[in-house]
Structure 1
Amino acid sequence: SWSFAQPRWKMLYRSYKGVVLLIEKGDKKKTTVREKHPYYNLTVKILRARNIKGTDLLSKADCYVELSLPTASPIIYRTQVIDNSSDPEWNETFHYRIHNAVKNILELRLFDKDVLISDELTSVVFDVAGIEPGRPLKNTFKLKEVSSLMILHEVHLKSQFHRYGRSQFKLSLPGAYEKQLCIPCQPDSDQNCASPFVFHVGKEMCTELDVELERTITVLQDGLSPDFEKHSTILGSGTVPFQSLPLGKEVDMTVPLGKVTLRDLDVRLGFDLCKEERRFLDKRKEIVSQALKRTLNLSEDPSTDEVPVVAVLGSGGGIRALTSFYGSLFGLQKLKLLDSVTYISGISGSTWCLSMLYQDPEWSCKDLGGPISNAQEKVSSSKVGAFSSERLKYYFQELNTMENDGRKVSFTDLWGLIVEYFLQQKEDQSKLSDQQEVVKEGKNPYPIYAAVNVRPNVSGDDFAEWCEFTPYEVGFRKYGAFVRTEDFDSEFFMGRLIKKYPEPRICYLQGMWGSAFAASLDDVFLKVVGSGLSFLESLNDCRRFHFRDPMRLNTRLVIPGGLMIQIFQDFFKSRVTAGETFNFMHGLYLHRDYVSLNKFVVSKGTHLDAFPNMLTPMEENLYLVDGGFSINSPFPLVLQPERDVDIILSFNYSWEAPFEVLHLTQKYCEERDIPFPEIVLNKEDEENPKECYVFMDAENPKSPIILHFPLVNDTFHKFKAPGIERELEEDKSFGDFEIGGKDSPYRTLNFTYEPHEFNKLVELNCYNVLNNKDSILELLQNPVNEAG
């Protein structure tokens, strides 16, 4: 078993050697405990079915049943086929060995066998936790049709009393008269008194005492046989040089038997913030306290326990979002509020802005005019070079090297290399973990980059699991599972790092974070080069991911061409459109009580969260995509109770529907009992949004205050600065533009802006922040006053 910290929320996984870790979040003071849970023998007997109607009109059904219990066995068992019968009888028995603390769900499927593809007639799931050990239980399941009745199975659960098996020490001394001595060992007993043993050997013999710890367990054989077999495993071994023992004296010695197995897992399990983020918060609170004293003209620094935790969120929107986020942050800097921000998070194009800023360890302490000027140069430059034959050759070499090294390669990786050119126009060797230097002293806000894990052919609105990327960790707060950023995209199993790969360059993450475009590369190519690549529709063998959301890009799977068309076409056969990566939760199982956590939407019977065998820990791969396929703003990553955010500045750069992210977030929070203010808007607000909105729940102090900034040109077209009207024609012309017009340069698929177009968008977003200074300062003042 493993040692781990414990208090409040029970969660989640079975880990190495079949022991359940209950990872919990709670009290600051923690104790180390060791939990033990038994295994049980589960017997499932498939009996018979009645009144089965097959799919063939000319004959009766040819029925068989499949059984799946993935937490106990990777094998899908099946009964024999009963040909041409409406009332098949099987009376076949199957055996499993299940763990008591894991959520064990038995899946049963009834099929009508066909020559090519068998037809599934029905399927049921059965929670094994409802079975009482030692008492057989017979279940009858009804099919979809009322007239059909299937008596499927009876189950019997029996406790396995020798839960840990028998252990013994095996000692041998080569050259001695005695060949080997065996001494029983009960590791969990306090009655292990010293057992004497004697070897007869010449005192001048140069030999070693060999010590082995062996465990023998009794298990059920695979297949249909109910027989048991014994398996012996050497848990550890060591040696003691014979010459090191003193003659005629007793001596106590410690013999290490191999590696210590109680070391920490390589996957961090738990809901708490990692220790590096907690250290950052301690340092950042000091800086926020000093910043609030200056900004709010306070007589003294507020206590670090009193300062509000402020998060800044940037939505998706491609280059429009990248450009706009620069402007919004510039506005906060001019108000001297950047040092009051604890977290900064983005989706899609906003992550591109953040990842460029965080290449400079002092970025928030410097005038953002420099980084903005550099970004303008890149955004206004031609993107045609991204699809040159030389560049395509570079893409192919990079991706081919990745695949030869054993990595998974997808269209998202190709898109990441294209984004690298769009943003840098050169090879970028930086990695996300490099940003640890930028945040370790608390000088800059803590960056959180967003992606979501999805499933093929399932809408992002129906199922999307938020994955956070920070300089220190990558992981899912839903499952309480995290890995070091340096280890992301390496191979893990049962919480252990199996095969380490180099950390991916940040361009590949930028491609993943903004992967909405990866599925529409033909449109990108058409916009940049001027011609499409319709022939690439021949790549119809590729696994497609459909995101049924009319408000976002219409995704389809195509790639750019040129001199290397055939090479790319062959290389990308059967690739996926999402960022397919190794699942670091593979081999871990959900705790039997996982449904009690509000992080899972189990109240909806059709939601995947209600089916543990279909959730991400059971998958070999993750499919990480642009967070905008779920909610186009990273609210879920800062609304976690562990981060305790008080105020959220939400900047929305979506092409349309300026309040959609708020409505979707409210729904998300309602389903998971997360405090969030009610979003109430009138028709005028929906049709003609203003620059800033404040939403709060005065009756719930745990609910964050939301300041929402839609992307609008409201008063900017009349004022060049707050309170200063535009008088010159040049100034009026600069401010007179529409963002969402038919011929707008800011459309999502436009990756190149003219310098004046870039500057307009930056200044608009900067102005919208400056023009709402009073609202922002008032909300910062309130918690300080209340604490005082």
Structure 2
Amino acid sequence: MFRAALANLPGRALPALAATVLWKKDKEKDRPKTSRSWRKEVHPYYNLSVTVVRARNIHGVDLLSEADCYVQLRLPTASPVPYKTKVIYNSTDPEWNETFHYRIHGAVKNILELTLYDRDLMLDDKLSSVVFDVGSIRPGKSTRRVFKLNPKDKEVLEVEFHVEESKDPPSEIITNGVLVVHPCVCIEGRIKLDENQENGNHLLKMSVPGSYEKQICPLSKQSQTEELGKFVFHADKEMSPQLDVCLLKTLRVAQNDLAPELDKQTIFLGKGSVPLSLLPKGQGIDIDLPLSKNYKVNMNMTRKDESAQKLDIRLGFDLSDGEKDFLKKRKERIAQSLKDALDLKTTPDEVPVVAVLGSGGGARAMTSFYGSLQGLQDLKLLDSITYLSGVSGSTWCMSTLYEDPEWSSKGLKEAISRAQKSVTSSKSGAFSAERLKYCSQELMAMERDGYKVNFSDLWGLVLEYFLHQKENPAKLSDQQISVCKGQNPYPIYAGVNVRVNISGGDFAEWCEFTPHEVGFRKYGAFIRTEDFGSEFFMGHLIRRRKEPKICFLQGMWGSAFAANLDEIWARASGTGIRWLNSLTDVIRVLDDCRKLHFRDPSRLQTRLVMPGGIVSNIFQDFFKSRFTAGELYNFTRGLYLYKDYVGVREFVAWKGNHLDAFPNLLTPMEENLYLVDGGFSINSPFPLVLQSERDVDVILSFNYSWQAPFEVLELTSRYCKERGIPFPSITVTEADEKQPKECYVFMDADNPRVPIVLHFPLVNDSFHAHKAPGVSRETDEEKAFGDFLLHGKDSPFRTKNFTYESNDFTRLVEVNRYNVLNNEEMIKSALKMALDRRKHKRTHRGSKIRK
């Protein structure tokens, strides 16, 4: 299913999978580390020549005639447009002997895609794709490769490669070990046609291939909000960009009242180009550009080179300055809390880092999280918590709490009372005429501001009513005041970036949202929270937009309806649409890196992709569409993958069918982000707190999932094993799976780097018989209150139920509160052990320094 989905990405050939690496993936200490921040590096340029020689024994799609073949070459790190050979008609053994030239940069992962097509009148048929890591070619030598397309039919594609070091001087780049920043060139200008040319209905189309702006019609009166005649382009300076200008004229040719658009005909008048590298820097210059014998265009243009070192995104894997400042202040409070709650004397530098995680589960998760936090507060341990992180419904609880800058120092009863009012109230007002009018106005305002409005935005407005019954103007960056003194745990909200036609279980990139920054630790790329929703290109802010209200983020964090049909089917039946696998593409390794390139673990294997056919494409596009995902501007767009990115812990490029091994398809090469509920990957935000930079010692995992009490642990364990992240072994008995207890402890006594995990399934275990730890229920009323089922088809706590009876809300809060109180000793023992580990590590480190 995953492979077929990859093949359906529009206009893309499927790239190679990663080379087998030399390190052991299950030993974190053996994995290469990235730099914590960006660094400067100098790398040479290379000239790459690719000669498409011939193909043999090619069978086209049409059974009545031979194939009409051509080859498309795509190298997006060196050319913004693909190249094509000529078409050889009606031949099973086409010969081209055509050579194509590229200038490639030594710091970038350069992956060439060679796609063989059969020419058709309507839509050309893709026969197969070969994806080749050109970094495997030794400079100064020619290499001829014969790619076996179909061994059964002896289909082959023969290509010759030659690489030599360029005479251009090496250039300095910025990299964090995963991403590479090239210098960006910005062209600003104004155009004006001659007076004798203005009397017609002229249409001027301008474009810079590979630029952020794509195509502009500066003389069109429908040119959005831009001033008439002005244009701006941002492009990669390394691509030798050029401005292409095309002049058209629209004529009225007939009168057609039924179809007025048929009245007009567009005539091509001429075109011209301006190499942007020839323009002087920083000064305006007038250019008369001939477009044809009778037409020219006058332009005044100014070139500005954006510095690669003055970026509007933060490249690096370290914590943000805001989070670092918070930690200094929070440690003081944690030290005092441990003294008050556990009678332990410690210094701020020795305090353990504790993270509390809330899983997804809609209103059930939101209500339950209030109860769990109430339990921690009753134990006087809430001030011992460093991080508070959530997925889906837990984020609704968090984002509401943090509207009060002092929430954790107050009793939670008032906040729980407000939540009870919203959960138990009728939701019909969300669909009243007045409210729907408000929603329409909000969405239209977002659209006018340039946002990509979608279903998750509407869902966010529905949630705004569910949680507040009125407009809530709060923004995520407002929560900076809630952590400025270290007075509350640091909030980390979770979302995942997915692909519209790939299951979240197969590919999902964790995106963290904090009061200070939003970003992908996988790529080491972050932007200010205030700039989320704005447009970026090559690390520079292109167009700033106002920060969205937090309700729109809540809709994205808890996008319960963003599942694609395959995921819904799989969860309902346990199988998914697996019969589609018979139609999927065939992917095969064409070489073995372990034999050919055993000294280069960064090199990617060459792969062959055989399309599954048009029937496969139709069905997969339908079942895989994720039309409700939150579509947003990609702030990593225009950045490139570093040549050795496959060696970084966050990537799973060694795994044969993982998208991480396809650099041309990874997020920096995409126009948009598709952010959804983190529950479509792991229904708890473990990946966000397990980053080594946060150095978490203890994790309190509160699982509010509908059944599957240990699934998040199993998925997290797999996630960590693939990336070499320390995580305890998860062993659960069959009896525990069927009847889980209130709390489980998972740890590695021999490895202090492995965090201690306390996992709390959502259960009514001893609560039904005890109103408090050690205090039995006596009256009939007390027994009736504790006698209820959390799961089952008749449960009021089903995931898509957003309205509870008052008694059910109170029960859900109290059972989660009780489960924390009833495991007080287990929690405190974990904190003491983590403190001892911290002290031991500090003492051991100090003795090493003294030696």
TM-score, with length taken from structure 2: 0.73
CA contact 1:511–1:518 (8 Å) conserved in 2: no
SS in 2 for 1:680: coil
1:293 is aligned to 2:339: yes
In the superposition, relative to structure 1, how do residues 436 and 96 fare at CA in structure 2: closer, same or farther (>3 Å)? same
Partner SS state of residue 234, structure 1: coil
Q: 1:743/1:394 Cα in 2 relative to 1: closer, same or farther (>3 Å)? A: same
Q: Verify: 1:547 aligned to 2:557, yes or no.
A: no
- 1:757 partner amino acid: D
Separation in 2 of the partners of 1:772 and 1:404? 52
Contact 2:139/2:162 (<8 A) preserved: yes
| 1:57, distance to aligned residue in structure 2 (A) | 1.5
Segment of structure 1 superposing worse, 658-667 or 72-81: 72-81
- Among 117, 141, 154, which residue is 1:148 paired with? 154
Question: 1:612 aligned to 2:663?
Answer: yes
Q: Does 1:40 align with 2:91?
A: no
Q: Cα distance, 1:58 vs. partner?
A: 1.2
Report the secondary structure of 1:642's partner residue.
Answer: helix
Verify the 8 A CA contact 1:95 1:220 in the aligned structure 2: no
- Partner in structure 2 of residue 591 of structure 1: 642
What corresponds to 1:93 in structure 2? 99
User: 1:478 and 2:522 equivalent?
Assistant: yes
SS in 2 for 1:156: strand
Q: Distance in 2 between matches of 1:157 and 1:70?
A: 17
Q: Give 1:35's aligned amino acid.
A: E
Q: How far apart are 1:701 and its partner, in Å?
A: 1.3
CA distance in 2, matches of 1:599, 1:578: 24
**For 1:38 and 1:101, how far apart are their aligned partners in 2?**
8
- The question of 1:398 aligning with 2:442 is answered yes
Equivalent in the alignment of 1:181:
none
Deviation per CA, 1:48-81, whole angstroms, max 9, x where unpaired? 1001111221111111111111111221222122
Distance change >3 Å, CA 421–CA 642, structure 1 → 2: same
* CA 1:643–1:332: 2 relative to 1, 3 Å: same
Relative distance call for 1:368 and 1:220 in structure 2 (3 A) is closer
2:699 maps to which residue? 648
* Residue 734 (structure 1) aligned with residue 785 (structure 2): yes
1:19-30 correspondence runs (5 A): 24-26=34-36
C-alpha spacing 1:341/1:33, structure 2 compared with 1 (3 Å): closer
Distance 1:230 1:497 in 2: 21
User: Which position in structure 1 is the counterpart of 2:795?
Assistant: 744
Paired residue secondary structure (2:729)? coil
CA distance in 1, matches of 2:769, 2:238: 81
Kindly tell me: are residues 387 and 577 of structure 1, through their superposed partners in 2, closer, same or farther at Cα, counting changes over 3 Å?
A: same
Pick from 312, 319, 323: which aligns with 1:266? 312
Structure 1 residues 637-646 or 400-409, which shifts more?
400-409
Which amino acid counterpart does residue 513 of structure 1 have in structure 2?
W
Structure 2 distance, partners of 1:778, 1:653, is: 24
Amino acid at match of 2:746: F
* 2:341 equivalent to 1:332: no
| Identity fraction in percent | 63
> Which of 812, 815, 835 is equivalent to 1:764?
815
**8 Å CA contact 1:460, 1:548 repeated in 2:** no
Once the 2 structures are TM-superposed, how far is the Cα of residue 93 of structure 1 from its aligned partner? 1.7
What SS does the aligned partner of 2:785 have? helix
CA pair 770-551 structure 1, distance change in 2 beyond 3 A = farther
Amino acid at match of 2:383: D
The corresponding residue for 1:70 is 76
Aligned residues of 1:735 and 1:760 also touching (Cα < 8 A): yes
Q: Distance in 2 between matches of 1:258 and 1:580?
A: 30
What is the rounded CA distance, in whole Å, between the counterparts of 1:231 and 1:384 in structure 2? 60
Q: 5+ residue gaps in structure 2?
A: 1-31, 172-236, 245-273, 285-302, 577-624, 841-851
Q: Which has the higher contact order (CA 8 A, sep 6+)?
A: 2
1:726-767: per-residue Cα shift (whole Å, max 9, x none)?
A: 000000000000010221110011000111110000000000
3-state SS, counterpart of residue 110 of structure 1: strand
Q: Distance in 2 between matches of 1:518 and 1:548?
A: 10
Displacement after TM superposition at 1:151 (Å): 3.2
Work out the CA distance in 2 between the residues paired with 1:80 and 1:721: 80
Equivalent-residue separation in structure 2 for 1:426 and 1:86 (angstroms): 68
Q: Aligned partners of 1:67 and 1:58: how far apart in 2?
A: 28
Do the aligned residues in 1 keep the contact of 2:561 with 2:628 (CA within 8 Å)? no
Deviation string for 1:273-299 (max 9, x for gaps)? 11111111111111111100111113x
Confirm whether residue 408 of structure 1 aligns to residue 414 of structure 2: no
RMSD in angstroms over aligned alpha carbons? 2.6
* Partner SS, residue 57 of structure 1: coil
Whether the 8 Å contact between 2:148 and 2:154 is mirrored in structure 1 is yes
Partner Cα distance (1:430, 1:145) in 2: 61
Secondary structure at the aligned position of 2:348 is classed as coil
1:410–1:575 contact (8 Å) kept in structure 2: no
SS across alignment from 1:143 = strand
Query: Residues 716, 597 of structure 1: CA spacing in aligned structure 2 closer, same or farther, 3 A cutoff?
Result: same
Distance 1:468 1:552 in 2: 29
Change (3 A) 1:78 1:38: same
Matched positions, count: 647
Structure 1 distance, partners of 2:304, 2:75, is 34
Q: Structure 1 residues 505, 493: CA separation in 2 closer, same or farther (over 3 Å shift)?
A: same
Secondary structure of the equivalent of 2:688?
Answer: helix
Q: TM-score w.r.t. structure 1 length?
A: 0.79
Q: 1 CA distance for matches of 2:538 and 2:722?
A: 30
Match of 2:536 among 467, 492, 496: 492
What is the aligned partner in structure 2 of residue 282 from structure 1? 328
Deviations 1:409-440 (A, max 9, x none): 11000100000000011111010000000001
Q: CA deviation at 1:33?
A: 6.3
Structure 2 partner of 1:205? none
**Highest CA radius of gyration, 1 or 2?**
1
User: In structure 2, how many angstroms separate the alpha carbons of the residues matched to 1:431 and 1:230?
Assistant: 41
Alignment partner of 1:49 is 2:59 = no
Distance in 1, matches of 2:797 and 2:481, equals 34
Structure 1 residues 61 and 650: alpha-carbon distance in aligned structure 2, compared to 1, 3 A threshold: same
Kept after mapping to 2: 8 A contact 1:217/1:232: no
CA distance in 2, matches of 1:623, 1:468: 14
| Aligned residue among 124, 136, 140 for 1:134 | 140
Distance 1:345 1:232, change over 3 A: same
Counterpart code for 1:54: G
Distance in 1 of aligned mates of 2:754 and 2:836:
18
Residue 783 of structure 1: CA displacement?
Answer: 2.8
Deviation string 1:490-545 (CA, Å, 9 cap, x unpaired) is 000000000000000000000000002356xxxxxxxxxxxxxxxxxxxxxxxx67
Residue in structure 1 matched with residue 28 of structure 2 by the alignment: none
Residues 164 and 217, structure 1, Cα contact 8 Å, conserved in 2 = no
Contact map agreement 1:458 1:547 (CA 8 A) in 2: no
1:422 to 456, 466, 469: 466
Greater Cα shift, 615-624 or 110-119? 110-119
